[in-house]
Amino acid sequence: MKKVPQHKKLYEILRKHIEDGMYHEGDLLPSENELCRLYDLTRPTVRQALVSLAYDGYIIKKQGKGSVVQNPPGGIGILSVSGTTSALRNKELETVVLSKAEIQQWPDPFIYPLNEVEKEMGCILLQRLRKLEGRSIFYDVNYIPNMNLPRFKSRKFENASLFDILRQFYSIEIRGGEQRIRAIGADTATAEYLGVKTGFPILHLERKLNTNRIGFFVYSSVFCNTDIDAIFGTF
């Protein structure tokens, strides 16, 4: 079972502080020593988090001055371990459930190898369309193992975060993961969901997310319309 590294946890904390307006453009973040004291972390861990923030455009390191906050990137942080809802910052996110959560057998072939318990228990399929400021951005197909998730199908998924539901009702925390990203042409159904023409270039993300529950993984197939919004983040 993988745990989220401390530097990624600090990255997410500071990223959220910047996006929520706690720090404004031109402000200085606390010094490395101050961050070490505030979060009880080692200096190399703090430096690694700051390097990631600089790489993603949230801060710029200035010699003799420190970490200066910049305007957050203009894209969408779906690559962040915090999840799409959190990574969209203060923008208006609408989640439309395309089909009710249903228990079914895993697709065959599936996007990732499955263990024997997963195969036996089947999965809960959840299909959602994520809209940003009225634009269809993500067609999100989630496969959640049907393993000790009472009343999961009855949960409210409209305009809600899947990660938050797993955390709040089942004490399941996302602990990083792996993903594959490809550029593809939208098929007819996906093009209709995303409001583009068939064959329009989109990004396809296949994701396997680790959790704090042993042997429990969350899988998703995400189709992204990046015509206006880029995607970014650390994972």
> pLDDT tens-digit profile of 120-146?
999 999 999 999 888 899 999 999 999
pLDDT tens per residue, range 194-230: 999 999 999 999 999 988 899 999 999 999 998 877 6
DSSP assignment, residue 73? P
The pLDDT value recorded for residue 196 is 94
With b meaning 16 or more CB within 10 Å and e meaning fewer, what string describes 34-50?
A: ebbeebebeeebbbbbb
Provide CATH code, domain 6-69.
Answer: 1.10.10.10
Q: Give span(s): CATH 3.40.1410.10, the chain.
A: 84-224
CATH superfamily entry for domain 84-224:
Chorismate lyase-like (3.40.1410.10)
Q: Give span(s): CATH 1.10.10.10, the chain.
A: 6-69
